């Protein structure tokens, strides 16, 4: 930790925590850890995959790049960044910004197994970066035309990687999930807590 008081002093100020994301889901997930960021400052980077970039590498790179970009604006702070990638094999699915994209994603995923890759990166006040990549395997049920239409009508797919939100109505479509449930929502809590505590941030 850094601050004006001598190291180890009980009243040494804690460096602020900056969340490099505007996602309300990530704020809610951090709250489950008893952690409230001091600031929210989205990185606002181009999130397009690089040519032949694998889903795991894409999630790691974006989390790292977001953390470093925002850390440059907040020296001496903890900066936490994350990215969530939904993939079918090597294919990275987009964030659904319209119903047609959501329909294509769900048609590809329904009745099949896919993976959700979560990249998490933390820049400590001294500038060092720590990171984790988390894999969750998800199997969705086959969706009939009525189920698909009703989900598209709900609108909760908007802005979601892979065209679905597991914390909403789509949870009823999940036949099997292996790994971190919070990772699919947007932030793997076990790994995030470990990163924070490992760098001296007082996560309960």
Q: Are 178 and 116 in contact (CB under 8 A)?
A: no
Q: Is residue 142, in this structure, part of any structural domain at all?
A: yes
- Tally the domains of the chain: 1
What is the pLDDT confidence band of residue 11, given thresholds at 50, 70 and 90? Answer: low
Is 131 among the domain residues? yes
The answer to whether residue 203 is domain-embedded is no
Is residue 204, in this structure, part of any structural domain at all?
Answer: no
Compute the residue count for the chain: 204
Q: Over the stretch 148-194, which tens digit does the pLDDT of each residue have?
A: 999 999 999 999 999 999 999 999 999 999 999 999 999 999 999 99
Which two structure tokens, joined as six digits, stand for 190?
Answer: 């076990």
Closest residue by Cα to residue 31 from 23, 109, 10? 23
Per-residue pLDDT, 204: 84
What was the pLDDT predicted at 3?
42
- The residues that are catalytic are 83
What distances in angstroms separate CA 66 from CA 108, 121, 122, 156, 161, one per listed residue?
29, 8, 10, 25, 17
CATH number at residue 132: 3.90.950.10
- Domain range enclosing 119: 17-198
> What beta strand segments (E) does 89-194 contain?
91-92, 113-123, 129-140, 174-178
- In a domain? residue 9: no
Using DSSP bridges, classify how beta strands 17-19 and 39-40 pair: parallel, antiparallel or unpaired: parallel
pLDDT digit string, tens, across residues 131-149: 999 999 999 999 999 999 9
Q: Is the pTM of this model over 0.75?
A: yes
- What pLDDT was estimated at residue 8? 46
Instruction: Express each pLDDT in 22-80 by its tens digit.
Output: 999 999 999 999 999 999 999 989 999 999 999 999 999 999 999 999 999 999 999 99
CA distance 134 to 180: 8
Whether residue 4 is contained in a domain is answered as: no
Host H or E run for residue 64: helix 55-71
Tens of pLDDT, residue by residue over 104-130, are: 999 999 999 999 999 999 999 999 999
């Amino acid at each position: 930790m850094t601050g004006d008081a001598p190291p180890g002093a009980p009243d040494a100020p804690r460096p602020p925590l900056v969340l490099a994301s505007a996602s309300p889901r990530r704020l809610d997930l951090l709250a489950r850890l008893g952690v409230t960021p001091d600031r929210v400052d989205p990185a606002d980077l181009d999130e397009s995959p690089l040519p032949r970039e694998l889903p795991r590498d894409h999630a790691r790179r974006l989390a790292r790049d977001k953390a470093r970009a925002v850390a440059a604006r907040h020296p001496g702070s903890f900066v936490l960044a994350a990215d969530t990638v939904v993939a079918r094999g090597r294919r990275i699915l987009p964030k659904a910004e319209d119903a047609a994209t959501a329909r294509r994603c769900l048609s590809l995923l329904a009745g099949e197994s896919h993976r959700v890759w979560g990249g998490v990166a933390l820049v400590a006040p001294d500038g060092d970066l720590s990171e984790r990549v988390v894999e969750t395997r998800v199997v969705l049920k086959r969706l009939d035309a009525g189920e698909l239409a009703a989900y598209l009508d709900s609108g909760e797919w908007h802005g979601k990687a892979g065209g679905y939100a597991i914390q909403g109505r789509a949870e009823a479509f999940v036949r099997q999930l292996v790994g971190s449930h919070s990772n699919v929502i947007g932030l793997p809590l076990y790994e995030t807590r470990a990163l924070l505590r490992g760098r001296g941030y007082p996560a309960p």
